[in-house]
Amino acid sequence: MDKHTISVLVDNQSGVLVRVASLFSRRGFNIESLAVGATHDKEISRITVLTYCDQRELDQIASQLSKLVCVRAVQVLPPDKSISRELLLIKVKTGSERRTEVMLIATAFRAHILDVARETMTLELTGESSKISALIALMADFGILETMRTGIVALERDAGTIYHTLREE
């Protein structure tokens, strides 16, 4: 099983996400990560799905997604030809005695300090999933109070876009 990132352009309408997610569920494929957002065109949203499967299953997923009426384009993003990022918000216990240590780690990761309170600090980090996981692992020593991790968002590198596969309605 390999990790695959699938980018899907869909109609910006209610119920579309449920239809796309149901396709995965009905066929027994797990969604590891899911991110949905508007595009520069208010009528189109982009769904980015991270899943683990073999090539045959990936081809099946892409084919089935393409058949949905609400789907305008499907693109499998190879890791070497795409850029992906994830966002993390993390609140950790700091106390005054450990605040400097957390700040140094945040600086090393290029994380932004969003909030500093008497006993806690909230950080924001954007990056590859491995970078996000590494920061979480380091912050565990301080005591993690809360985390919120978005799904992966991704785009093709260079001049290529998903729009070259766009299905006109």
**80-128 residue pLDDT tens:** 999 999 999 999 999 889 999 999 999 999 999 999 999 999 999 999 9
Based on the fold, state whether residues 120 and 145 are members of the same structural domain: yes
Q: What is the mean pLDDT of the chain?
A: 94
Give the angle subtended at the CA of 31 by the CAs of 25 and 34, to the nearest 5°: 120
pLDDT, position 168: 58
Mean of pLDDT values over 2-15: 95
For 7, the domain range is 2-77
Based on the fold, state whether residues 87 and 68 are members of the same structural domain: no
> Residue 89 forms beta bridges with which residues?
124, 148
Mean of pLDDT values over 64-76: 95
Within-domain flag for 54: yes
Chosen domain end from 34, 55, 77: 77
Based on the fold, state whether residues 14 and 30 are members of the same structural domain: yes
Based on the fold, state whether residues 28 and 44 are members of the same structural domain: yes
Within-domain flag for 101: yes
Based on the fold, state whether residues 14 and 41 are members of the same structural domain: yes
Name the band, by pLDDT with cuts 50, 70 and 90, for residue 1.
confident
Based on the fold, state whether residues 68 and 123 are members of the same structural domain: no
Mean of pLDDT values over 19-29: 91
Chosen domain end from 61, 77, 93: 77
Relative to beta strand 120-127, strand 82-93 is antiparallel
Within-domain flag for 90: yes
Name the band, by pLDDT with cuts 50, 70 and 90, for residue 164.
confident
Q: Would you say residue 163 has pLDDT above 90?
A: no
The domain that holds 89 is classified in CATH as 3.30.70.1150
**34-63 residue pLDDT tens:** 999 999 999 999 999 999 999 999 999 999
Say what percent of the chain tops pLDDT 90: 86
Within-domain flag for 161: no
Within-domain flag for 162: no
- 27-31 contact pairs (CB < 8 A, 24+): 27/60, 27/61, 27/64, 29/53, 29/57, 29/61
pLDDT, position 140: 97
**123-149 residue pLDDT tens:** 999 999 999 999 999 999 999 999 999
How far is residue 82 from each of residues 7, 13, 67, 119, 157, measured CA to CA in Å?
Answer: 11, 27, 24, 40, 5
